[in-house]
Amino acid sequence: MSSKFLNHVSVITGGSTGIGLAIAQGLLAEGARRVYVTGRSRQSLEEAVALLGDAAVAVVSDVSSLADLEHLKDEIEQRGDRLDSIFANAGICEKHPFGSTTEADYDRSFDINVKGVFFTVQTLLPLLRDGGAVVLTSSICSGNGMAELSVYNASKAAVRSFARTWTNDLRERKIRVNALSPGFTRTPLMDNSLKLDEAQIDQLKEHVARITPLGYMADPAEIASAGLFLASADARYITGIELTVDGGLSQI
């Protein structure tokens, strides 16, 4: 490994599984001193830390709760850490047909995917070093009209918008803000949010293989590598962009 994140300190929300866990693994493999991983499930976080090792700190935190985010900030401050990067990765993906979506459905998606991203970064911003990096997990759905996902699609479009505006807001501190937009990726969201069983996931994989130029569904590590690039010095002149990582799907 190149140690490109030597002594780096980072927070990854939604870091106990999927893309977030793969980002944490990548940071530590490249020399990070400490990674804070958050999530709502203590069990999942304990399993993640057992995998990641002593340099990982698990914090049970719901990104839609400002009190939980303040607790996360306190945990970081108590260890005397300053942040080099923030990965605002936590999110949900639920199907809500237009015409039967409830207010509770809408609020749940926007509280986690939009409010959660906004207040994660705002709360932790005082701890982020000048010249640091913020990576927001958006989605290729931020720019398309996939059926039965209007609430999700709109929430991810908001995340994409944050990357643009915060690039201006934080320009004096030279903090880079970019959006990472994955395509179809095999993560626990398919099981937990979309409620797909294994047969349905297999069918989806076959569908994705047919419609994606590279011919398969992504693994979380393939998305994480792009996120790590955006947080690294290799991307030091990149800010405000949306990096689409979808096997070419949105280009055809």
C-alpha span between 175 and 198 (Å, rounded): 41
Q: Residue 155 class from Cβ within 10 Å (0-12 exposed, 13-18 middle, 19+ buried)?
A: buried
In the residue annotation, 152 being an active-site residue is answered as: yes
C-alpha span between 137 and 116 (Å, rounded): 12
**Under 8 Å CB-to-CB from 159, ≥6 apart: which residues?**
88, 113, 114, 117, 136, 137, 138, 142, 179
Q: Which amino acid is at 56?
A: A
C-alpha span between 105 and 102 (Å, rounded): 5
Annotated catalytic residue, options 106, 152, 216, 237: 152
- Closest alpha carbon to 181 in 207, 161, 205, 206: 161
Q: Which amino acid is at 43?
A: Q
The catalytic residue positions are 152
